[in-house]
Amino acid sequence: MIRIAKFACCLLFLFVAAACGKVRPVTDVPDIHVGEPTFFPTIVAHTDAPIIGGNRIDILLDGDQVFPAMLRDIKSARQTITFAQYLYQDGTIGREFAEALAERCRAGVKGHILLDSQGARSLPDEITSTMRDAGCQVEFFRRVQVPQVVFIWRLLRYNYRNHRRILVIDGKIGFTGGYGISDAWTGDGHTREHWRDTNARIEGPLVNDLQAAFASSWFEATGALLGGTGYFPSLPPRGKIIAQIVKSSPVGGSFQNYMLFLLSIISAKESILITNPYFIPDDKIIDALLAAAKRGARVTVLVPGKIDVKLTYRASRRNYGKMLEGGIEIYEYQPALMHAKTMVVDGVWATIGSTNMDNRSFALNEELNLAVYDRAFARKLEDIFRDDLKYSRKITYAEWAARPWRERFFELFAFPFQEQL
């Protein structure tokens, strides 16, 4: 029995190692700066995402703001609802969403709900039945099937998850960000067990690109193509914001969100404000952050002081030393789990999305980020960042260097697994 157990452990280790993808190494980077004419075409070239004007984009913080807006717009749907969600759990808000979606489907609205089979693994059948019985089409992304168990190499695909957050109403109104459908996201992000997050509501021509991201994931899961005016209507301008929807996928192998983050960091002259819950950047991004600090930019990173995955927390803290020595400021948010995934560069460029700054998001997951080129929008995110710092604790190099041996041990333990985190 002991030999069988050892063999099983070795097989599991080899499986995880084989399933690990990595971002293709970047050997050289261009000399670009936010606001210069070459910045836009360079970003477009490496993210494969057009920059589109004429949009209105509203920032929605935490469940107190985002859930009422989402539910209101779901209830206003007349033709279609497309909804992709990584984490969906049982609870009050989960049942409220299921009932709202079901009510619209009973009224004749075409509802397409795509849930990740890992993130929604604990969702009870009662909730999915509520939606399906009303006529909604509910599908699970990359659910393990019998042939995958028989042919174990097919299980490698199960390691690639759909981490995108997308809600589109009638092809006209869109939502994205880092929210999960869980009672953990309810509240204002300042109380224990209620996560802090940042999300966006979009109106205007950019919604077509958000819908396109859903359509690609839906096709991957079902083989069905979505189209027509109910999904892709002609969208007049609704505001003055120019922005892009950047989506990445391990299937494409071009790692667009990694390029978005890297190119934006190297373009900074004045400031880089990063909020991210799973902060395990690779050496190239760390070097880019250090180079920005060296040339005089203020680089500030806000991460959780409390997190749901302790291994990730330890892997993240392993790199604090070199960043703190290089002039990067690091804060840990204290009241609740900080789950927002945002970055602001030079008060001009900003992003909100699903992408964590780790290898799993950059190389293994289907991800999606909204990138906005608007000074007023960026300043709002800067104000939110400064407010979050009021609830955070600054980490010093002396404190990090004096951390106990137990933390150092777990940092070393986490290192072999960080490409999966």
* Tens of pLDDT, residues 57-115: 999 999 999 999 999 999 999 999 999 999 999 999 999 999 999 999 999 999 999 99
% pLDDT > 90, the chain: 73
As given in the structure block, the two tokens for residue 269 are 């002259």
- pTM of the full structure: 0.90
- Half-sphere exposure in the Cβ direction for 258 (13 Å, CA): 27
**pLDDT classification of 253: cutoffs 50, 70, 90:** low
Contacts of residue 359, defined as CB under 8 A and 6 or more positions apart, other chains included, come to: 20, 22, 23, 280, 282, 418, 419, 420, 421
306 and 336 Cβ atoms separated by less than 8 Å: yes
Over its C-alpha atoms, the chain yields an Rg (Å, rounded) of 21
The SS3 call for residue 101 is helix
User: Residue 135: left if φ>0, alpha if ψ -120 to 50, beta else—which one?
Assistant: left
Lowest mean pLDDT among 37-46, 265-274, 277-286, 401-410: 401-410
Lowest mean pLDDT among 38-52, 135-149, 251-265, 355-369: 135-149
What one-character DSSP code corresponds to residue 73? H
Tell me what the mean pLDDT of segment 317-339 comes to.
94
CA–CA gap between residue 230 and residue 78 (Å, rounded): 9
Domains of the chain as residue ranges with CATH: 23-420 (3.30.870.10)
What pLDDT is stored for residue 232 in this prediction? 98
What pLDDT is stored for residue 308 in this prediction? 64
**pLDDT classification of 24: cutoffs 50, 70, 90:** confident
**More confident site: 31 or 82:** 82
Write the DSSP assignment of 203-253 as a string of letters.
ESTTHHHHHHHHHHHHHHHHSPPP-STTTS------SSEEEEEEEE-TTTT
What pLDDT is stored for residue 156 in this prediction? 57
CA–CA gap between residue 327 and residue 350 (Å, rounded): 22
74 and 101 Cβ atoms separated by less than 8 Å: yes
Q: How many CB atoms lie within 10 A of CB 32?
A: 18
**Chain mean position to CA 62:** 15
Q: Nearest to residue 346, comparing CAs of 411, 414, 402, 267?
A: 267
**More confident site: 214 or 407:** 214
What pLDDT is stored for residue 250 in this prediction? 76
% pLDDT > 70, the chain: 85
Looking at the DSSP bridge assignments, the partners of residue 352 are: 342, 370
What pLDDT is stored for residue 252 in this prediction? 60
What pLDDT is stored for residue 404 in this prediction? 76
Q: Tell me: the pLDDT tens digits for 141-173? A: 977 655 555 555 555 556 678 999 999 999 999
Phi, psi (rounded to 5 degrees) for 400: -65, -45
Tell me what the mean pLDDT of segment 199-206 comes to.
98
Tell me what the mean pLDDT of segment 208-215 comes to.
98
Q: How many CB atoms lie within 10 A of CB 20?
A: 17
Buried b (16+ CB within 10 A) or exposed e, 111-129: bbbbbbbbbbeebeeebbe
CA–CA gap between residue 97 and residue 85 (Å, rounded): 12
CA–CA gap between residue 194 and residue 183 (Å, rounded): 8
**pLDDT classification of 188: cutoffs 50, 70, 90:** very high
Tell me what the mean pLDDT of segment 246-264 comes to.
86
- What's the one-letter identity of residue 91? G
Tell me what the mean pLDDT of segment 316-332 comes to.
92
Residue 173's H or E segment, with its range, is strand 173-177
Q: Is the pLDDT of residue 420 over 80?
A: no
Q: Tell me: the pLDDT tens digits for 377-416? A: 999 999 999 999 999 999 999 998 888 777 766 666 555 4
CA–CA gap between residue 152 and residue 134 (Å, rounded): 36
Q: Is the pLDDT of residue 417 over 80?
A: no
What pLDDT is stored for residue 186 in this prediction? 96
Q: Is the pLDDT of residue 296 over 80?
A: yes
What one-character DSSP code corresponds to residue 156? G
Place of tokens 């997951």: 365
**pLDDT classification of 6: cutoffs 50, 70, 90:** very low
Looking at the DSSP bridge assignments, the partners of residue 302 are: 275, 331
Tell me what the mean pLDDT of segment 136-141 comes to.
96
Q: Is the pLDDT of residue 16 over 60?
A: no
What are the CA-CA distances from residue 282 to residues 167, 355, 359, 372, 380 (Å)? Answer: 31, 14, 8, 24, 29
Q: How many CB atoms lie within 10 A of CB 101?
A: 24
